[in-house]
Amino acid sequence: MKLRYLAVFYGCLGLAAAEPVGAQTLSTFGTPGLIDLPTAQVLEDGEVALTTNYFGNNTRNTLTFQVLPRVYGSFRYSILRNFNEGSPTAPENFYDRSFDVHFQMAFETETTPGLAFGLRDFGGTGRLSSEYVVATKSFGDRFTVTGGMGWGRLAQRGEFRNPLSYIFDSFRTRPEPRGIEETGQLDTGAWFRGPAAIFAGVEYQATDRLSFQLEYSTDAYDDEVERGLVDIESPFNVGLNYTFSSGSNLRAFVIGGREIGLQYSYVFNPKNPRAPGGFDKAPLPIGNRSEATLADMQLSDRKSLTRARQLMQERLEEEGMTLEGFVVDGPRATIRIENTLWGIEAQAIGRAARVMANTLPSNIDTFIITTQEFGVPNSTITLQRDDLRELQTDVDGAWRSLSRSQIEDADPDTRDGEIDGLYPKFFYGFGPFTRFSFFDPDEPLRFDFGAQLAMSYRPNPGLSFDMLLRQPVIGNIDEATRRSDSVLPRVRSDAALYAIESDLEINRLTAEYMFKPRENVFGRVSAGYLEAMYAGVSGELLWYPIDSPLALGVEINYVRQRDFDMLFGLQDYDVVTGHASAYYDFRSGFVAQVDAGRYLAGDWGATLGIDREFNNGFKIGGYFTLTDVSFEDFGEGSFDKGIRMTIPLSWLTGKPSRENYGRTIQPVTRDGGARLFVANRLYGVTRDNRAIGLNNGWGRFYR
């Protein structure tokens, strides 16, 4: 594998070194294991492992995520060089995508082993397809023994009749692997079927960092040996693994007695940012009422109110917030703010409350903070001044302050105390951009790098005009030679043509209006060049009760496909597309989303997405879409699916920021199940300021 592939494999995920973690041995499949074999072990809950290795004509790149304490899943991209050597039609190298899942049935105890079962390559081409049941037991601090039973590739050596076939005769034989045109389907008819075999291995922990592995593998690499890609003469594999304090693992191994390999793994936990504690500016302590800047002022006339408002504006701006409204009513003070800096909304509210406590007169004892996005009121938080000071040094002060606070839906018509001169607003940003194209058989990883200019003009609250210009400078996406063979309208599979035929890109040029028509309801209307491939009109409504885990939305769009040069021209293809959506926050770090409706190719169906979200804003999840397009008409991959990751910039740098770095990896980009990309969909815009979102981040209230 070329070195640039490895660089892009990690670079496209935007990952940097995190806090040291207790990394463990990972197999060549990128999962907890010995060399090739799995073990009945798991990563720590929430951990992510990135692995790349090279041996013979094989390269495997794997991302493994410990979704739950007992479940991990993996996505793997393998390259087999010279796989089709001599073929007049097929590419010389074979590029294979596969998914694994592992279920831990029991964890190891002092007297009993850990017990697990798993599926390898359960939705790909089936080249690596296997299933296993495995047990692992440690003896003292040094030795760990593993034994198990495997099917599929894990039954290519020493096989015997499947024990399950004595109960169900259908388990006696195993169907042949699917062809490339049938990849992506769940081949349940092959799971745990056909002959079985027993595998075993042992690991010796020589030091805290150095370990040795020896295994008897039942994967004989039959196909690879037949094609001359590897040289296997023994069932025994050996490995040597060294763990660094950073969470990295470097290992050397020998497969089959002859094939020498090297592997690098990096394990990190999204719960642990790169800079624990971060580099946030320390907040000012909350003093006594008498120490407030305006402690003796009564705010009973226009002059004193003006002075208080100006001081609040200045101090909130220093804290990364814009004051949009300011009202004093007896012992109550209300501010409306828009957070422009803090990635965790509860932290912004805590900072705003400190400003109020250190500024406003001593007779004001109730603080009311209304949060806004795009000038639209979202939530209203009521706090008591004495609680803020009393709990600021308490170990559990943040959570106790939450229990004493009140979170309500903001009045949709609130405009009291609006600050003069805030509008119109103009924002701009200039910087680099990167764009990736994955899994082209001719060049598995393609990219573009260039400069982009983003501008936004907001003449009134809720109304904005936005433009995103891009100029690619270097890259190779425009060198793609493969063309779509889709039998559906080519709503996404011609994406490479946009890179080939464009130079300066008008990536987005829109007018957008955000509004709140009534309590707990939000709205959006967008028009213009909505994304790189489509222009048109998009409308959305979202019902989202302030303290509910459930939100319901509906979106409808009319769009036309843009010309490939990404300027102002339009093609003939147009479509009405839209979805009804349900969002559910399980309050355990998991959020599910179901979208049902019509997609860009005119197909009807639904998308299910599930994401695990950490309290620092890091998200990892996946989705799949099934529509009335048949697997055959969809083509390679059978149906749309993908893995997505969102990394807050503050997680990487330790500095406060609302910027996120997102990446979606789709094994195959086809036309079935394709959805319009629209900026600022309402659930993402509003969620962090609703009650559950605020609760999740309230631990940073006093930060």
Number of domains in the chain: 3
pLDDT, average across residues 476-482? 85
For residues 42 and 172, membership in a common domain is answered with: yes
Residue 387 and residue 483 in one domain = no
What pLDDT is stored for residue 279 in this prediction? 80
369/12 Cα distance (integer angstroms)? 39
Give the domain extent around 340: 298-422
Residue 13 CA to residue 646 CA, distance in Å, equals 9
Average pLDDT over residues 366-387: 96
- Among 94-103, 431-440, 606-615, name the one with the lowest average pLDDT: 431-440
- Could you tell me if 415 and 454 lie in one domain? no
pLDDT at 184: 61
From 404, 422, 440, the end of a domain falls on 422
Does 410 fall in a domain? yes
**What pLDDT, in 10s, does the model give residues 199-248?**
999 999 999 899 999 999 999 999 999 988 899 999 999 999 999 988 89
Percentage, residues of the chain above pLDDT 90: 74
Task: Let me know whether 210 and 170 are in one domain.
Answer: yes
SS3 459: strand
Residues 461 and 507 in one domain: yes
Is residue 8's pLDDT more than 60? Answer: no
Last residue of a domain, one of 379, 401, 422: 422
pLDDT value at position 446? 87
- Same-domain status, 135 and 206: yes
Round to whole Å and give the CA distance between 463 and 526: 10
Q: Which tokens is 691 given?
A: 């009650």
Nearest to 690 by CA among 546, 570, 491: 546
| DSSP character string of 527-575 | EEE-SSSEEEEEEEEEE--TT-SEEEEEEEEEEEEEPTTSSS-EEEEEE
pLDDT range class, residue 87, cuts 50, 70, 90: confident
Same domain, 50 and 29: yes
Residue 701 maps to a domain: no
Q: Given a cut of 90, is residue 603 above it in pLDDT?
A: yes
Instruction: Compute how many other C-beta atoms are within 10 angstroms of the C-beta atom of residue 680.
Output: 17
* Residue 13 clears pLDDT 50, i.e. is over it: no
- Mean pLDDT throughout 559-573? 97
89 has a pLDDT exceeding 90: no
Confidence band of 96 (pLDDT split at 50, 70, 90): confident
The predicted pLDDT at position 280 comes to: 83
pLDDT at 277 over 70: no
| Structural domain includes residue 193 | yes
Inter-axis angle of helices 302-318 and 345-359, nearest 10:
140
Can you name the residues that pair with 511 across neighbouring β-strands? 465, 527
Confidence at residue 76, expressed as pLDDT on a 0 to 100 scale: 94
pLDDT at position 186 over 80: no
pLDDT in tens, 103-124: 999 999 999 999 999 999 987 7
| Two tokens, residue 222 | 């039959």
Residue 372 belongs to a domain: yes
* pLDDT value, residue 18: 36
Same domain, 471 and 588: yes
Nearest of 131, 156, 134, 155 to residue 144 by alpha carbon: 134
In Å, how far are 45, 115, 309, 589, 680 from 104, measured between CA atoms?
A: 12, 6, 58, 20, 39
Beta strand 48-55 with 321-329: parallel, antiparallel or unpaired?
unpaired
The per-residue DSSP string of 28-84 comes to TTSSBBSSSSB-S--PPTT-EEEEEEEETTEEEEEEEEEEETTEEEEEEEEEETTTT
Last residue of a domain, one of 406, 422, 438: 422
Does 336 share its domain with 248?
no
Q: Break the chain down into helix, strand, coil percent, rounded to 5.
A: 15, 45, 40
Q: Tell me: do 379 and 465 sit in the same domain.
A: no
pLDDT on residue 180: 54
CATH number where 132 lies: 2.40.160.40
Asked if residue 380 belongs to a domain, the reply is yes
C-alpha 540/C-alpha 530 separation (Å) is 14
Q: Is residue 371 part of a domain?
A: yes
- E strand spans, 341-477: 366-373, 376-384, 406-409, 425-440, 443-460, 463-475
| Pairing relationship of beta strands 332-339 and 366-373 according to DSSP bridges | parallel
Res 419: pLDDT: 87
Tokens of 620: 């990892």
253, 271 contact by CB (below 8 A) = no
User: CATH no. for residue 366?
Assistant: 3.30.300
pLDDT at position 19, please?
36
Q: What is the overall mean pLDDT for the chain?
A: 91
The SS3 call for residue 216 is: strand
pLDDT at 6 over 50: no
Q: What is the mean pLDDT of residues 648-660?
A: 91
Q: What percent of the chain has pLDDT over 70?
A: 95
With respect to residue 700, please indicate whether it lies within any of the assigned structural domains. no
Q: Determine which of 61-65, 475-479, 609-613 has the lowest per-residue pLDDT on average.
A: 475-479
- CA separation for the pair 355, 480 (Å, rounded): 55
Per-residue pLDDT at 42: 95
Q: Are residues 341 and 475 in the same domain?
A: no
40, 110: one domain: yes
Q: Which two tokens stand for residue 326?
A: 């300011």
Does residue 698 lie within any of the structural domains? no
Q: Which two tokens stand for residue 622?
A: 């996946």
